[in-house]
């Protein structure tokens, strides 16, 4: 323990195992710079050992002898003969040899090891023996070789020591007289002071006492942390034997370069409860200070996240134990599996740490829902599910308990009419019926195009008007189905072009009548079909320009909007033909412009029908045009509020809209075509009746007086009818004068029909 470097191991700061029975005198020399720290914990025990095989042999001998008991070494010649040899001897050995006997041999290590103790004990209890000093390693090898050869041996050794671990069960301790502290204190520490083979003055005659091994340390480390650790270091007998056993397991491993370190490290790993008491009291382990968490599932598409825990400073040998705290939170919490997002976990540490001891109470935040697509009944099903369901029962949550239960499925209205719906099929069938009616109307008009009533009604315009019905009928079908880019674009086009085609044809009819019959009185005016179509094309050009500008600035894309649901707690995504906030302004502008343009078309049609109100009913259709305008106005007044002011299911709205479009289309066509069909039937009936009368007159002779009277009557009637059909029109002329024009209707009818039919 000197601070001066006098050897390889000097200076020594700490001595963990000091045998005070033999080294205390040397240690006292350095007490001015070292101190006794205390006991190491386990006890040393020196003694005399003999072969276990000899003990077994003695118990079987006749008479038996007992090598593990000291008295038999005095009385058993057989036992003494088995352990005889030449060496220094005791007084009892001298006396025995004088009597012609032999002495046993006791192998000792070094004279300084328990100086004179066992020599004095064996001599004083009368055991004839030689005492030979071989050295520590030599005695161990001597005993080991004797055990392998089966030769009895008696030797001095001490415990704890590796020798007794590696030769476990091969040697037994010889029981000397029970130790007595008072007798031990009488030891002089000498032997052989009176000469070879003579009686000693050392009075020891009891076994070696258990000796607490001491720890000594330099004063340099007394106030350092290592000094505190060294003072608390204690090992029990079991601990030191366990440590020596671990060393014996690795010492013969040729691949292990540091067997001492490996044995000590293995022991530390498995004996935390022992060495943890040597350290200064560490702070209590807390969740906030000594445990860190790691969230997995953030970098992939996983629906759940797992919060795993680890010690901030784990034990190098066992990561499940902390290295910088003790007590408190004694073990790592179990991993928490949650459906919460990683951002929520990072922001709500105080909340989810409470879930370590008890699962949270279930509420709506722990379950989610999915909304299905529209089914054939125009409903969408809202199905709720736990974000992290129980592995054995998906109706229970795996991350919460008690509280709310999983809601039942809910049906909500679809935002559009699905084409798989039976209602849509019915409306489609109705639309097909309307199309068939329109096709039949086209066939009738084309077949009767030479009939006067059809010619005067300008059958080309009638056909064009009927074609407009196809557009509106197509719109009634196109407003069903999931909104797509095509449907969103074609729906307003069909309605607009249908309106333009129907009322454009009616306006051109009225304009043609006005130009021929009223614009230039008493003049032959020819308005060709090509000219009328050129005028009608202006209407289409205006429509096309509006749609091009509208769709270029704000195409009505199918847009998904998220709305608060009324049927359940949550939101639902609904798709419709809408635009973004910027383009929405353009949408309003172009929609208003389109409506304004259609209103102008209606007003022009009504104005022209008013101008030709006094023309013959064969040419003008003022009542029917006015009725058609009223139908459109009433339809708009009903459809517009239903579209923007009334909340109703999309399926019901579609049925209402489709029925309105089909009804208005059929009603307008009926107003324009049904009266003409009745006129055709009347003309056909009149023609048949006139032919029959003519045949009757030719088959029956007439009286002269009757003929004259009849002729006069017919003439008068004809004249009367002709005069009743005379129309008068007052028209302003240049110079401010008024000119009264009297036109015979029969003459005008013939001329007008020819002019309207001329291309």
Question: In this predicted model, what pLDDT tens digit does every residue of 724-743 receive, in sequence order?
Answer: 333 333 333 333 332 333 33
Listed in sequence order, the DSSP H helices in 323-387 are 342-347, 349-352
**pLDDT attached to residue 222:** 86
Average pLDDT of the segment spanning 670-675? 78
Per-residue model confidence as pLDDT tens digits over 705-715: 443 333 333 33
β-pair partners for 572: 563
What predicted TM-score, i.e. pTM, was given to this entire model? 0.52
**pLDDT attached to residue 646:** 60
**pLDDT attached to residue 68:** 66
Per-residue model confidence as pLDDT tens digits over 212-251: 888 888 888 888 888 888 888 888 888 988 998 888 888 8
Average pLDDT of the segment spanning 385-409? 89
For the record, the structure tokens of 389 come out as: 């369901």
**pLDDT attached to residue 1:** 57
Q: Has domain 45-209 been given CATH number 3.40.190.100?
A: yes
Q: What is the mean pLDDT of the chain?
A: 77
Per-residue model confidence as pLDDT tens digits over 341-383: 888 999 999 999 889 888 999 998 898 899 999 988 889 999 9
Per-residue model confidence as pLDDT tens digits over 484-496: 999 998 988 898 8
Q: What 3-state DSSP class applies to 66? A: coil
**pLDDT attached to residue 80:** 57
Residue 435 has pLDDT above 90, yes or no: yes
pLDDT band at 621 (very low <50, low <70, confident <90, very high): low
CATH fold group of domain 422-683: Rhopdopsin 7-helix transmembrane proteins (1.20.1070)
**pLDDT attached to residue 320:** 87
Residue 614, CB half-sphere, CA atoms under 13 Å: how many? 11
**pLDDT attached to residue 753:** 44
β-pair partners for 575: 560
Per-residue model confidence as pLDDT tens digits over 104-139: 888 888 888 888 888 888 888 888 888 888 888 888
- Range(s) for CATH 1.20.1070.10 in the chain? 422-683
Of 88, 83, 133, give the one whose Cα is nearest residue 105. 83
Q: Which residues does 92 contact at the CB level (< 8 Å), separation at least 6?
A: 74, 103, 123, 126, 127, 128, 129
Residue 28 has pLDDT above 60, yes or no: yes
The beta strands (E) that lie in 555-705 are given as: 558-564, 571-577
Residue 427 has pLDDT above 50, yes or no: yes
CA dihedral 124, 128, 132, 136 (to 10 degrees): -70
Tokens 């003990």 belong to which residue? Answer: 55
- Range(s) for CATH 3.40.190.100 in the chain? 45-209
Q: Is the separation of the CB atoms in 68 and 173 below 8 Å?
A: yes
Per-residue model confidence as pLDDT tens digits over 292-306: 999 988 887 788 899
**pLDDT attached to residue 638:** 63
β-pair partners for 559: 576
The beta strands (E) that lie in 356-507 are given as: 367-371, 379-386, 410-413
Q: What is the CA radius of gyration of the chain?
A: 63
**pLDDT attached to residue 459:** 78
Question: How far apart are the C-alpha atoms of 478 and 556, rounded to whole Å?
Answer: 15
**pLDDT attached to residue 584:** 41
pLDDT band at 430 (very low <50, low <70, confident <90, very high): very high
CA dihedral 544, 548, 549, 550 (to 10 degrees): 100
β pairing state of 171-173 and 154-159: unpaired
Q: Which residue has the higher pLDDT, 613 or 743?
A: 613
Question: How far apart are the C-alpha atoms of 120 and 116, rounded to whole Å?
Answer: 6
Average pLDDT of the segment spanning 141-156? 86
Residue 759 has pLDDT above 50, yes or no: no
Average pLDDT of the segment spanning 442-447? 86
């Amino acid at each position: 323990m000197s601070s001066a470097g006098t050897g390889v191991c000097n200076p020594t700061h700490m001595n963990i195992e000091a045998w005070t029975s033999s080294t205390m005198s040397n240690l006292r020399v350095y007490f001015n710079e070292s101190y006794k720290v205390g006991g190491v914990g386990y006890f040393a025990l020196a003694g005399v050992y003999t072969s276990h095989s000899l003990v077994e042999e003695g118990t079987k001998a006749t008479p038996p002898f007992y090598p593990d008991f000291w008295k038999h070494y005095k009385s058993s010649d057989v036992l003494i003969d088995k352990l005889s040899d030449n060496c220094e001897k005791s007084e009892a050995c001298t006396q025995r040899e004088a009597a012609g006997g032999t002495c046993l041999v006791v192998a000792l290590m070094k004279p300084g090891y328990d100086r004179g103790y066992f020599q004095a004990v064996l001599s004083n209890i009368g055991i004839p023996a030689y005492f030979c000093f071989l050295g520590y390693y030599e005695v161990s090898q001597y005993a080991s070789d004797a055990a392998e050869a089966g030769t009895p041996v008696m030797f001095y050794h001490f415990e704890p020591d590796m020798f007794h671990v590696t030769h476990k069960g091969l040697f037994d301790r010889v029981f000397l007289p029970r130790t007595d502290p008072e007798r031990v204190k009488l030891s002089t520490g000498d032997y052989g002071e009176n000469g070879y083979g003579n009686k000693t003055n050392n009075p020891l005659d009891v076994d070696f006492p258990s000796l607490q091994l001491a720890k000594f340390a330099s004063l340099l480390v007394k106030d350092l942390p290592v000094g505190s650790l060294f003072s608390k270091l204690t090992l029990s007998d079991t601990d030191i034997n366990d440590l020596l056993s671990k060393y014996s397991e690795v010492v013969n491993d040729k691949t292990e370069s540091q067997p001492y370190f490996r044995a000590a490290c293995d022991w530390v790993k498995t004996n935390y409860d022992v060495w943890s008491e040597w350290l200064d009291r560490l702070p209590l382990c807390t969740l906030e200070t000594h445990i860190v968490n790691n969230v997995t599932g953030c970098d992939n598409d996983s629906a759940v996240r797992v919060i795993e825990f680890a010690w901030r400073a784990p034990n190098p040998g066992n990561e499940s134990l902390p290295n910088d705290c003790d007590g408190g939170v004694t073990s790592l919490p179990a991993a928490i599996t949650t459906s919460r997002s990683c951002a929520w976990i990072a922001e709500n540490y105080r909340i989810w740490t409470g879930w370590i001891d008890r699962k949270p109470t279930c509420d709506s935040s722990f379950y989610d829902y999915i909304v299905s697509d529209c089914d054939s009944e125009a409903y969408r099903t809202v199905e709720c599910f736990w974000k992290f369901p129980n592995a054995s029962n998906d109706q229970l949550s795996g991350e919460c308990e008690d509280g709310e239960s999983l809601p039942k499925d809910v049906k909500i209205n679809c935002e559009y009419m699905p084409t798989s719906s039976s209602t849509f099929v019915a409306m489609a069938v109705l639309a097909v019926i309307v199309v068939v009616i329109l096709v039949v109307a086209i066939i009738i008009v084309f077949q009767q195009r030479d009939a006067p009533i059809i010619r005067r009604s300008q059958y080309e315009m009638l056909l064009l008007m009927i074609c407009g019905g196809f557009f509106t009928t197509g719109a009634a079908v196109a407003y069903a189905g999931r909104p797509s880019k095509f449907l969103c674009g074609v729906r307003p086009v069909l309605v607009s072009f249908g309106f333009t085609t129907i009322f454009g044809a009616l306006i051109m009819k009225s304009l043609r009548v006005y130009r021929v019959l009223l614009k230039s009185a008493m003049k032959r005016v020819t308005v060709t079909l090509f000219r009328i179509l050129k005028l009608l094309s202006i209407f289409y050009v205006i429509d096309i320009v509006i749609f091009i500008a509208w769709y270029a600035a704000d195409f009505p894309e199918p847009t998904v909007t998220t709305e608060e649901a009324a049927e359940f707690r949550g939101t639902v995504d609904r798709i419709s033909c809408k635009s973004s906030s910027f383009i929405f302004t353009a949408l309003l502008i172009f929609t208003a412009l389109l409506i304004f343009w259609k209103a102008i078309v209606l007003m022009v049609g009504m104005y022209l029908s008013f101008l030709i109100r006094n023309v013959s009913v064969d040419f003008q259709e003022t009542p029917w045009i006015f009725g058609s305008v009223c139908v459109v106005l009433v339809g708009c007044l009903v459809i517009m509020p239903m579209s923007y002011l009334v909340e109703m299911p999309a399926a019901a709205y579609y049925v209402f809209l489709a029925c309105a479009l089909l009804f208005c289309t059929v009603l307008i066509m009926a107003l324009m075509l049904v009266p003409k069909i009745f006129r055709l039937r009347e003309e056909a009936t009149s023609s048949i009746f006139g032919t029959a009368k003519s045949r009757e007159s030719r088959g029956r002779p007439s009286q002269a007086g009757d003929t004259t009277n009849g002729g006069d009557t017919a003439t008068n009637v004809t004249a009367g009818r002709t005069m009743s059909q005379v129309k008068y029109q007052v028209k302003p002329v240049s110079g401010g004068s008024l000119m009264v024009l009297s036109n015979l209707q029969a003459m005008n009818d013939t001329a007008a029909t020819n002019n309207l039919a001329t291309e």
